[in-house]
């Protein structure tokens, strides 16, 4: 009888170690290039691990907003999520240095360089919080969109703008720019633009189009507020249930498809800008005076959040990356 129990226990442990379906929550809607690439990733992981590891993506926020997904991971209902930086910052605030305002302007190459330069440092911080990072990616440059015309950054003062509840970086930026922050869950933004609860919002172009905010706004400030980054995280507890051989495969396949996402993101965002312009959204250019104001907003934000939201070390690494990019140019 004891031998039978030992054999059964061994089989159970072996099954748990070598066969696993990773359940992952994603806000990305079905049908987008993002979703298509994630589905291809899941197929490749299943094939290349011989069915030992499967990934089931729950698209379109079907598992709730990002904080809901994070909570479900922590209680074991999900194994991972594809997160944007606000939620990543809840896990490890150092990631937010990549989203400091008015840092990259329109220069995506500098964004990608900064992500690559900081990844080794940030991955260690993420691992310390019991997650494995399967890849960082840039989501796109973040733009203000508004129902009313905003001719300058000064004109933003008093405008009611959506903010993600509990986001210290965005709250600080909006405070420095004297906007009226209206914290709302992401799914409520569209209806709030319709009813006038908010007058403005911010997101990368593809997200603006995917969430149909473009149907409720008339203006876009053609000067990126910041960049938006994301990452595909799996709980360390779930990842340890995968054999070392298959862990390596999962990391390699994930990198391959996240690189494809990066390659398509720029085109998707540019196409989204073009579609918004064609649909009648007016693009508002800013003056040199506004750029000077943007620099002051950036400096004030860093002063308030360095050592609180993100470490001095993370900021130092960002500045080194930016300096290297300048020298190459």
Rounded mean pLDDT of 24-42? 91
Find the domain containing 196 and state its range.
Answer: 2-328
pLDDT, tens digit (0-9, with 9 covering 90-100), for 149-175: 988 888 888 899 999 888 999 999 999
Q: What is the mean pLDDT of residues 15-40?
A: 84
Residues 265-278: what's their mean pLDDT?
Answer: 93
pTM check: above 0.85: yes
Q: How many domains does the chain have?
A: 1
**Rounded-to-integer distance, Cα 77 and Cα 217, Å:** 37
49 has a pLDDT exceeding 60: yes
The pair of three-digit structure tokens given for residue 42, joined into one six-digit string: 């899941």
pLDDT tens column, 50-81: 999 999 999 988 999 899 999 999 999 999 99
If you search the block for the tokens 């390699």, which residue do you land on? Answer: 252
Predicted confidence (pLDDT) per residue in 211-223, tens digit: 899 999 999 999 9
Kindly report the CATH number assigned to the domain that includes residue 270: 3.40.190.170
Query: Given phi > 0 = left and psi -120 to 50 = alpha, else beta, which region is 127?
Result: alpha
Distance CA 270, CA 177 (A): 27
pLDDT band at 14 (very low <50, low <70, confident <90, very high): very low
Mention every residue, 6+ apart, whose C-beta is less than 8 A from residue 19: 51, 52, 53
Q: Is the pLDDT of residue 176 over 50?
A: yes
| Mean pLDDT for the stretch of residues 120-143 | 95
| Choice among 90-94, 259-263, 308-312 with the minimum mean pLDDT | 259-263
Rounded Cα distance between 53 and 22, Å, is 7
């Amino acid at each position: 009888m004891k031998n039978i129990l030992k054999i059964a226990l061994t089989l159970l442990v072996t099954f748990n170690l070598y066969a696993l379906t990773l359940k992952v929550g994603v806000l990305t809607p079905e049908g987008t290039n993002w979703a298509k690439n994630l589905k291809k990733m899941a197929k490749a992981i299943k094939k290349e691990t011989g069915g030992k590891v499967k990934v089931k993506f729950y698209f379109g926020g079907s598992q709730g907003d990002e904080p809901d997904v994070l909570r479900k991971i922590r209680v074991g209902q999900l194994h991972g999520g594809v997160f944007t930086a606000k939620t990543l910052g809840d896990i490890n605030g150092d990631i937010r240095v990549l989203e400091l305002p008015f840092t990259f302007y329109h220069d995506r190459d500098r964004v990608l360089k900064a992500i690559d330069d900081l990844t080794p440092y940030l991955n260690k911080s993420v691992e310390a919080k019991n997650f494995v990072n399967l890849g960082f990616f840039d989501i796109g440059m973040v733009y203000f969109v508004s129902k009313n015309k905003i001719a300058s950054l000064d004109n933003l003062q008093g405008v009611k703008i959506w903010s993600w509840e509990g986001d210290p970086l965005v709250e600080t930026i909006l405070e420095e720019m004297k906007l009226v922050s209206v914290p709302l869950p992401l799914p409520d933004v569209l209806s709030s633009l319709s009813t006038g609860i908010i007058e403005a919002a911010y997101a990368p172009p593809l997200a603006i189009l995917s969430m149909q905010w473009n149907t409720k706004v008339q203006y876009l400030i053609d000067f990126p507020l910041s960049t938006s980054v994301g990452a595909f995280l799996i709980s360390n507890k779930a990842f340890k249930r995968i054999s070392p051989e298959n862990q390596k495969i999962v990391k390699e396949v994930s990198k391959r498809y996240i690189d494809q996402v990066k390659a398509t993101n720029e085109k998707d965002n540019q196409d989204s800008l073009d579609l918004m312009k064609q649909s009648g959204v007016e693009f508002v250019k800013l003056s040199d005076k506004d750029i000077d104001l943007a620099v002051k907003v950036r400096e004030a934000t860093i002063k308030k959040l360095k050592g609180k939201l993100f470490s001095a070390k993370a900021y130092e690494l960002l500045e080194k990356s930016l300096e290297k990019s300048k020298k190459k140019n």
